[in-house]
Chain A
Amino acid sequence: MTDLVRPAAAWELQTVLGKFAAQKVPVEIVGHGALRNAGRPCNAGVVVSTASMRGVTLYEPTELVMSVRAGTPLFEIEAELASRGQMLPFEPIDIGPTTGAPAGGLSIGGVFATNFSGSRRVATGSARDHLLGIQGVNGRAELFKSGGRVMKNVTGLDVARGMTGSWGTLAVLTEVTFKVVPLPESMLTLVYRNLPDDLAIEALTTAMGTPYEVSGAVHLPKGAAVRMHHAKLKALDQSLTLLRLENFSASIAYRKDKLTEALKVFGTPLEFGVDDTWSIWSELRQLSVMPFSNSTSLWRISTIPTKAPEIVAAIKKFMPSEAFYDWSGGLVWLEVPAAADAGAADVRRAVAVRGGHATLIRATADVRANVDVFEPMKPEVERLTRGIKAAFDPLGILNPGRQYANI
């Protein structure tokens, strides 16, 4: 059993990390544990949790800004925003359910530490893009801040955004400040049916090349589509290509017509209104079509949209797999059979040839310890990565090995 420390305030965290740094004791950093089944397993005898640092510290709806303590659960934040008619612009992905952890356990610190943004990212930007400021404690036990609470801020190096995607290996975030946006007045989902992957991606990229501000562009090949919880979509029993519009009501009516016209060659879409749209995109955020299973592994592949079907087809030559295309193809969640290397060799080769990067999301701890979970780095990038790590955490006490072995 590992020791669990739950500091309740930034200064407590600083004190705790100061002690561990003095003794060179490596620590695993967690929120509520929603990400513990993902990433490389961290080899540390002590767990430091931010779960007791929670609560909204600043919310100015008319300035579109919110500050919260890093351990605040995502669902609490979204409920608070919804009560004022607002939302997070980047629709964070909850990888809890697909990795065998409960849904809704993600903390806001984890959202920014992973930068796993959802479908709306293709239109409005990622978690990283909306981060305005952070406070955190680094591996030197220094409490520091970067950025602030205003939208436009170019004062000094952008250390705040530099924390995103670092999985708690540079600093433990204690507070984050980010931009929020109004909830749309109305929303609509258009569903095209029976398109093969390459045509579907053509439809999605065509839609993203219109001025109608499509805020979600997803393709589910039949194998993934039939796993949807949404009864009507599941019952269609065919591949589904989904586009979301969000705006005021009159605008949606207009844009739906224009978009349908622009995509005429792809068929006549089904239409789903506000309630269905809400439930469809909510389940996609929890990767409902990529459910937890011991017999499969899950990859997350970032590429350029038009290369995505080629990558999936290339991998399918070597192993059966199921894909979920998001970001008009720029993001692929790919399920492959569980194997000793989770298919890493074939997945990485297919991606490397066509451009992009792949992250292993779900596999047993043994597999995640033994294959590269994150895209292997080129030597010059690795040099900078090691340098940055040493600048923040010279003793290597924060989440050692969580992203890369020996970093």
Chain B
Amino acid sequence: MTTLRLPDPDAATIGRRASIIEDIARLIGRDALIADEDGRRAFETDALTAYRRLPLFVVLPRSTEDVSKVLRYCYDNSLKVIPRGAGTSLCGGALPAEDAIVLCVSKMNRVLDIDFANRYARVESGITNLAISARAAAQGFFYAPDPSSQLACTLAGNLAMNSGGAHCLKYGVTTQNVLGVRMVLIDGTIVDIGGAYLDTSGFDLLSYVVGSEGQLGVITEATVRILKSAEGARPMLIGFATPEAAGACVSGIIAQGIVPVAIEYMDKPAIEVCEAYAAAGYPLDVEALLIVEVEGSDDEIGVLLNRIAAIASAYDPKTVVISSDSDQSARIWAGRKAAFGAVGRISDYYCMDGTIPLKQLPMVLARIGEICSGYGLKVANIFHAGDGNLHPLILYNANAADEAEKAEAAGADILKLCVEVGGCLTGEHGVGIEKRDLMSVQFSPVDLAVQMRIKSVFDPRWLLNPAKVFPLDASAAYIEQADAPPRAA
């Protein structure tokens, strides 16, 4: 999978590598740098592993002030910077470049303040997603966004990608759960945006920052909302003979005024693979399976799941299984959460992340099948049905000639289809390098210009996370403008 164009590295910068290392070592200490080739190799890619680039070197700051010193140096010396958390991006958001440093915040991972009365936690951005909830759990609280990689991924990466998760139907994604950030701009300026309050004054700068994929600055601290955990949660399984019936059932549940905490959809190939892997108890004689979860007390859960079962009965379900205990609930979720790993055991796969209006689901699934078979490839589909976020896993053989390129082409066709039916290119993974060149499918030149001008406000020299998010032909003019010498301090 190497069809995406990446800019040629700047030979002069690479030539200055030794002196740049010395300069930055003087600023924040030699032990904060990884410069040897073996060490750098660990940072050469992220979770989009088809693309690899060895970075100039890696910087592991310990404080906001370290980040400020490093970025100021980069600004003054026109050095490009790849911000990085745990490197779990599925879209190449943390892919290095040979002429850029990687600035990895993973050593900044402390909880600075946790306030249960006011329901917020202030943390350093290198903390993992799950570590926030773990710290809050002592008082029965949690941090709501729950991306599948939550054990490993950092809050910094979640903020950069505006990460979601299976439970965001009820709790929202990252942008609804962060109140403020401390961010370092490319010229070293430290800026506090938002706070611990439920709204901000003036322009909503936080909205531009969350989901900006490392284009605007480096977030070093954040204040996030923590919420009291529900008394309990329990899922049910509903299997259908057709995707139409499953989609209609989801609409039926919501039309009856019930918004479950999660509604997950799996198609037959996904069901089979997950069941073989996790023995979750999924029915194998259905074309579509819904996992519907509700929260509350045991009695409340019972009432709601029975109501949902009654609604589902109108759509001719083949299977209805209400989880009866925590073991069964854990197995039901283990199957779904292991989906990517389970598919990965049987094949290489390429995971897509488009979003579509729910009512288009049957048509979109049929077209995805046609697109993939047109390339001679198979596909398994997992879908956050409540919010329309679709994850087709395109199966291919990385060792077979041109199959990777075919998977990439099929993925692009699927994302174009998502936009065509009223959806978008990416629901939670981000644009990165992967969908960069597809941005023109979703956005007009003016829409893109509006975004790129904001990039220029925060990063006037276009040094942060280069060659990502914005199509290269669209951003060329902005980068050219930015190539003026740095302004005097």
In the docked arrangement, what's the CA distance between A224 and B332, Å?
Answer: 51
State whether the Cβ of B176 lies closer than 8 Å to any Cβ in chain A. Answer: yes
> Which residues in B have their C-beta under 8 angstroms from that of A388?
203, 205, 208, 454, 457
> Which residues in B have their C-beta under 8 angstroms from that of A302?
197-199, 201
State whether the Cβ of A129 lies closer than 8 Å to any Cβ in chain B. Answer: yes
| Cross-chain contact of A164 among B169, B207, B451, B454 (Cβ < 8 A) | B207
Give the residues from 105 to 148 in chain B that come closer than 8 angstroms, CB to CB, to chain A: 115-120, 140-141
| Cross-chain contact of A156 among B161, B201, B431 (Cβ < 8 A) | B431
Q: A152-B168, A211-B230 are in contact. Are A185 and B257 (CB under 8 A)?
A: yes
State whether the Cβ of A159 lies closer than 8 Å to any Cβ in chain B. Answer: yes
Instruction: State which of A102-110, A138-146, A277-285 sits at the interface with chain B.
Output: A138-146
State whether the Cβ of A63 lies closer than 8 Å to any Cβ in chain B. Answer: yes
Q: What 0/1 pattern do residues 424 to 440 of B give for CB contact below 8 A with A?
A: 11111111000100010
State whether the Cβ of A391 lies closer than 8 Å to any Cβ in chain B. Answer: yes
State whether the Cβ of A157 lies closer than 8 Å to any Cβ in chain B. Answer: yes
| Least Cβ–Cβ distance between A142 and chain B, in angstroms | 5
State whether the Cβ of B202 lies closer than 8 Å to any Cβ in chain A. Answer: yes
> Which residues in A have their C-beta under 8 angstroms from that of B204?
115, 128, 161-166
In the docked arrangement, what's the CA distance between A286 and B356, Å?
Answer: 37
State whether the Cβ of B423 lies closer than 8 Å to any Cβ in chain A. Answer: yes
| Cross-chain contact of A154 among B141, B202, B358, B427 (Cβ < 8 A) | B427
State whether the Cβ of A396 lies closer than 8 Å to any Cβ in chain B. Answer: no
Asked whether, in the complex, the Cβ of B196 is within 8 Å of the Cβ of A355, the reply is: yes
> Which residues in A have their C-beta under 8 angstroms from that of B398?
none
In the docked arrangement, what's the CA distance between A182 and B199, Å?
Answer: 24
Asked whether, in the complex, the Cβ of B446 is within 8 Å of the Cβ of A143, the reply is: yes
Q: A302-B201, A357-B201 are in contact. Are A157 and B446 (CB under 8 A)?
A: no
State whether the Cβ of B189 lies closer than 8 Å to any Cβ in chain A. Answer: yes
Q: A60-B359, A150-B356, A155-B426 are in contact. Are A391 and B453 (CB under 8 A)?
A: yes
State whether the Cβ of A306 lies closer than 8 Å to any Cβ in chain B. Answer: yes
State whether the Cβ of B375 lies closer than 8 Å to any Cβ in chain A. Answer: no
Asked whether, in the complex, the Cβ of A154 is within 8 Å of the Cβ of B428, the reply is: yes
Asked whether, in the complex, the Cβ of B446 is within 8 Å of the Cβ of A144, the reply is: yes
Closest residue on chain B to residue A383 by CB atoms: B189
| Least Cβ–Cβ distance between B180 and chain A, in angstroms | 11
Asked whether, in the complex, the Cβ of A403 is within 8 Å of the Cβ of B202, the reply is: yes
Asked whether, in the complex, the Cβ of B427 is within 8 Å of the Cβ of A152, the reply is: yes
| Least Cβ–Cβ distance between B132 and chain A, in angstroms | 17
Closest residue on chain B to residue A305 by CB atoms: B118
In the docked arrangement, what's the CA distance between A248 and B297, Å?
Answer: 13
| Least Cβ–Cβ distance between B203 and chain A, in angstroms | 5
State whether the Cβ of B49 lies closer than 8 Å to any Cβ in chain A. Answer: no
> Which residues in A have their C-beta under 8 angstroms from that of B168?
152
Asked whether, in the complex, the Cβ of A121 is within 8 Å of the Cβ of B454, the reply is: no
| Least Cβ–Cβ distance between A50 and chain B, in angstroms | 19
Q: A138-B450, A166-B204, A181-B259 are in contact. Are A152 and B389 (CB under 8 A)?
A: yes
Asked whether, in the complex, the Cβ of A306 is within 8 Å of the Cβ of B118, the reply is: yes
Query: Interface residues of A, CB < 8 Å — how many?
Result: 85
Asked whether, in the complex, the Cβ of A158 is within 8 Å of the Cβ of B211, the reply is: yes
Q: What 0/1 pattern do residues 351 to 374 of A give for CB contact below 8 A with B?
A: 000011101000000000000001
Asked whether, in the complex, the Cβ of A392 is within 8 Å of the Cβ of B450, the reply is: yes
Asked whether, in the complex, the Cβ of B203 is within 8 Å of the Cβ of A170, the reply is: yes
Asked whether, in the complex, the Cβ of A62 is within 8 Å of the Cβ of B191, the reply is: no
State whether the Cβ of A153 lies closer than 8 Å to any Cβ in chain B. Answer: yes
State whether the Cβ of B449 lies closer than 8 Å to any Cβ in chain A. Answer: yes
State whether the Cβ of B23 lies closer than 8 Å to any Cβ in chain A. Answer: no
State whether the Cβ of A37 lies closer than 8 Å to any Cβ in chain B. Answer: no
State whether the Cβ of B314 lies closer than 8 Å to any Cβ in chain A. Answer: no
> Which residues in A have their C-beta under 8 angstroms from that of B399?
none
In the docked arrangement, what's the CA distance between A309 and B164, Å?
Answer: 35
Closest residue on chain B to residue A115 by CB atoms: B199
| Least Cβ–Cβ distance between A324 and chain B, in angstroms | 16
Q: What 0/1 pattern do residues 230 to 258 of B give for CB contact below 8 A with A?
A: 11000000000000000000111011011
Asked whether, in the complex, the Cβ of B388 is within 8 Å of the Cβ of A150, the reply is: yes
> Which residues in B have their C-beta under 8 angstroms from that of A387?
457-458
Give the residues from 440 to 457 in chain B that come closer than 8 angstroms, CB to CB, to chain A: 442-444, 446-451, 453-457
> Which residues in B have their C-beta under 8 angstroms from that of A170?
203
Closest residue on chain B to residue A65 by CB atoms: B357
> Which residues in B have their C-beta under 8 angstroms from that of A228?
none
Closest residue on chain B to residue A307 by CB atoms: B118
| Least Cβ–Cβ distance between A94 and chain B, in angstroms | 17
| Cross-chain contact of A144 among B119, B255, B447 (Cβ < 8 A) | B447
In the docked arrangement, what's the CA distance between A85 and B257, Å?
Answer: 8
Give the residues from 186 to 225 in chain B that come closer than 8 angstroms, CB to CB, to chain A: 189-193, 195-205, 207-208, 210-212, 215
Asked whether, in the complex, the Cβ of B202 is within 8 Å of the Cβ of A380, the reply is: no
State whether the Cβ of B330 lies closer than 8 Å to any Cβ in chain A. Answer: no
Closest residue on chain A to residue B120 by CB atoms: A304
| Cross-chain contact of A62 among B254, B300, B356 (Cβ < 8 A) | B254
State whether the Cβ of B422 lies closer than 8 Å to any Cβ in chain A. Answer: yes
Asked whether, in the complex, the Cβ of B469 is within 8 Å of the Cβ of A156, the reply is: yes
Q: A155-B425, A251-B296 are in contact. Are A161 and B431 (CB under 8 A)?
A: no
State whether the Cβ of B325 lies closer than 8 Å to any Cβ in chain A. Answer: no
In the docked arrangement, what's the CA distance between A305 and B258, Å?
Answer: 31
State whether the Cβ of B387 lies closer than 8 Å to any Cβ in chain A. Answer: yes
Q: A304-B115, A304-B197 are in contact. Are A159 and B454 (CB under 8 A)?
A: yes
> Which residues in B have their C-beta under 8 angstroms from that of A202?
117
Asked whether, in the complex, the Cβ of B454 is within 8 Å of the Cβ of A152, the reply is: no
> Which residues in A have their C-beta under 8 angstroms from that of B359?
60, 62-63
| Least Cβ–Cβ distance between A128 and chain B, in angstroms | 6
| Cross-chain contact of A165 among B202, B430, B450 (Cβ < 8 A) | B202
In the docked arrangement, what's the CA distance between A160 and B424, Å?
Answer: 14
State whether the Cβ of A296 lies closer than 8 Å to any Cβ in chain B. Answer: no
Asked whether, in the complex, the Cβ of B450 is within 8 Å of the Cβ of A144, the reply is: yes
In the docked arrangement, what's the CA distance between A374 and B464, Å?
Answer: 32
State whether the Cβ of B4 lies closer than 8 Å to any Cβ in chain A. Answer: no
Asked whether, in the complex, the Cβ of B426 is within 8 Å of the Cβ of A165, the reply is: no
State whether the Cβ of A294 lies closer than 8 Å to any Cβ in chain B. Answer: no
Closest residue on chain A to residue B297 by CB atoms: A254
| Least Cβ–Cβ distance between B176 and chain A, in angstroms | 5
| Least Cβ–Cβ distance between B169 and chain A, in angstroms | 8
In the docked arrangement, what's the CA distance between A304 and B428, Å?
Answer: 30
State whether the Cβ of B84 lies closer than 8 Å to any Cβ in chain A. Answer: no
In the docked arrangement, what's the CA distance between A367 and B266, Å?
Answer: 60
Asked whether, in the complex, the Cβ of A161 is within 8 Å of the Cβ of B175, the reply is: yes
State whether the Cβ of B480 lies closer than 8 Å to any Cβ in chain A. Answer: no
Closest residue on chain A to residue B356 by CB atoms: A150
> Which residues in B have their C-beta under 8 angstroms from that of A164?
204, 207
Asked whether, in the complex, the Cβ of B202 is within 8 Å of the Cβ of A377, the reply is: yes
Q: A142-B450, A154-B426 are in contact. Are A121 and B198 (CB under 8 A)?
A: yes
Give the residues from 179 to 199 in chain A that come closer than 8 angstroms, CB to CB, to chain B: 181-183, 185
Closest residue on chain A to residue B256 by CB atoms: A182
Asked whether, in the complex, the Cβ of A156 is within 8 Å of the Cβ of B443, the reply is: yes
> Which residues in B have their C-beta under 8 angstroms from that of A211?
140, 228-231
| Least Cβ–Cβ distance between B189 and chain A, in angstroms | 5
Asked whether, in the complex, the Cβ of A209 is within 8 Å of the Cβ of B195, the reply is: no
> Which residues in A have their C-beta under 8 angstroms from that of B356?
150
> Which residues in B have their C-beta under 8 angstroms from that of A142?
446, 449-450
State whether the Cβ of A125 lies closer than 8 Å to any Cβ in chain B. Answer: yes
Residue pairs across A and B with Cβ atoms less than 8 A apart, 23 shown, are A60-B357, A62-B358, A63-B357, A63-B358, A145-B447, A148-B355, A150-B389, A151-B389, A152-B384, A152-B427, A155-B424, A155-B442, A158-B211, A158-B212, A162-B203, A208-B119, A209-B119, A254-B299, A303-B197, A331-B199, A374-B202, A387-B458, A392-B453
**Pairs of residues from A and B, 8 with the lowest C-beta to C-beta distance, nearest first:** A387-B457, A161-B207, A151-B387, A182-B257, A62-B251, A152-B427, A391-B453, A375-B201
Further 20 A-B residue pairs, CB within 8 A, beyond A154-B211, A157-B451: A85-B257, A122-B198, A142-B446, A148-B424, A152-B168, A154-B430, A158-B211, A158-B212, A162-B205, A164-B207, A182-B257, A182-B258, A202-B117, A356-B195, A356-B197, A374-B202, A383-B189, A391-B450, A391-B453, A392-B453
